[in-house]
Amino acid sequence: MEEQNNTYADKVGLPPGSLVYIGKQNSQNVILSEINYSVDHHEENEFNEFSNCKSWDKSNVVTLVSVIGVHDASIIESAGEYFNLDPMILEKIVNTESRPKLEEFDDYLFLRMKTLEVDINSNDIITGHISLLLNKNGVLSFQENEVSILGPLKNRIRQGKGTIRKRNSDYVFYRIVDTLVDNYFTITEHLDDQLEKLEEKLLENQNENLNEEIYDLKKKIGFVKRTISPLRECLSNIIRSDNDFVTKSTQNYFRDVNDHLIHLNEIVDSQREAINDLLNLHMSIMNNKMNEVMKVLTIFASIFIPLTFIAGIYGMNFEIMPELKWEYGYIIAWGIMLSAAIILLLYFRRKKWL
């Protein structure tokens, strides 16, 4: 049975700020959890209500609150009430089809972006949606589905490795964004592998019709391009911003992430050119094959034109035709037709059309 999706049509006519989930249907339970840490302290909790968050308002502790699952509008609404979030932000959190964007408010910084992973079994690109809210005390993360690539980052917090537990909330915000952007490189590498395999397949078996595979890969590359491109503007705004949420030292880290995005855009642009070249090559091969077929058919038609002409003359059934009374007229007619065919074949061969 085909999976049903909630679309923009489900919210047509509703007032702004209405919480209508847009995305793939999801029946899993929403998971609420938090990680609280400082230089010498670490604690993790799962809870059912946001009022049970232990350290969100404590200035000496950094809190990372995770909401896994945005399909339950009632839970997102309760998050908005507890954390005092703008209704328009809540509407964007439950809309998993929205493009990456950065917005600044008096109390927090809001960033939404896409997560990309490769399905090993089908080679498809699995997309997800994540919304991040940063304030001075912590980071609030809304994930469409659990983002597995953030696991190593959480382990570093648990183990106290590196400087992450010595830094403020803007640093863990940067690390989450950096992890998601770095993971985009694995997607581009996957696309490079598919491009190479498709090119080899095309050159090894030129008779195979690969239009569907080429257009499918072209669609994937275009989707990755649309995912990555808007992020450059978002990170540029973070780097140029003078808000109190991201310190100057962390802005320098975001410059490095922005450089990665520039590199990713260059890679995807080259992949788009490569897939277009591959499509043009495939169409040229198919056209050449068609031209070969048409050439053979034209040669056969050219051979039969004089034969048809001779047969047509002697099929007119006029009463006064001297050749009809010849004893060897039938054999002579066959000889003329065979001679014409052989002469044309020799001529085509000499012209290297055969």
174 three-state secondary structure:
helix
* Phi and psi torsions of 242, nearest 5°: -110, 25
Per-residue pLDDT, 28: 83
The backbone region for 42, taken as left when phi is positive above 0, alpha when psi lies in -120 to 50, beta otherwise, is beta
31 three-state secondary structure:
strand
Read off the pTM: 0.81
Per-residue pLDDT, 349: 82
Residue 69 has which token pair?
């699952």
Alpha carbon distance 262, 256 (integer Å): 10
Per-residue pLDDT, 183: 94
Alpha carbon distance 67, 143 (integer Å): 6
CA distances from 58 to 36, 119, 156 (A): 10, 40, 22
Instruction: Quote the longest CA-to-CA distance of the chain.
Output: 120
CA 222 from chain centre, in angstroms, equals 6
**Positions in the chain short of pLDDT 70:** 1-4, 6-17, 54-55, 57, 206-207, 354
Q: Please, are residues 147 and 69 in contact by the beta-carbon 8 Å criterion? A: no
* Phi and psi torsions of 106, nearest 5°: -65, -35
Alpha carbon distance 247, 93 (integer Å): 25
pLDDT, one tens digit per residue, over 255-292 is 999 999 999 999 999 999 999 998 888 888 888 888 88
Domains of the chain (ranges, CATH numbers): 5-285 (3.30.460.20), 294-350 (1.20.58.340)
- DSSP state for residue 119 in the 8-state scheme: -
pLDDT, one tens digit per residue, over 43-60 is 888 888 888 876 676 778
Q: Starting at the edge strand that comes first in sequence, how are the strands of the sheet with 62-68 ordered?
A: 41-47, 31-38, 62-68, 138-143, 125-134, 109-118, 101-104
Per-residue pLDDT, 134: 93
**Kind plus residue range of the DSSP H or E element containing 133:** strand 125-134
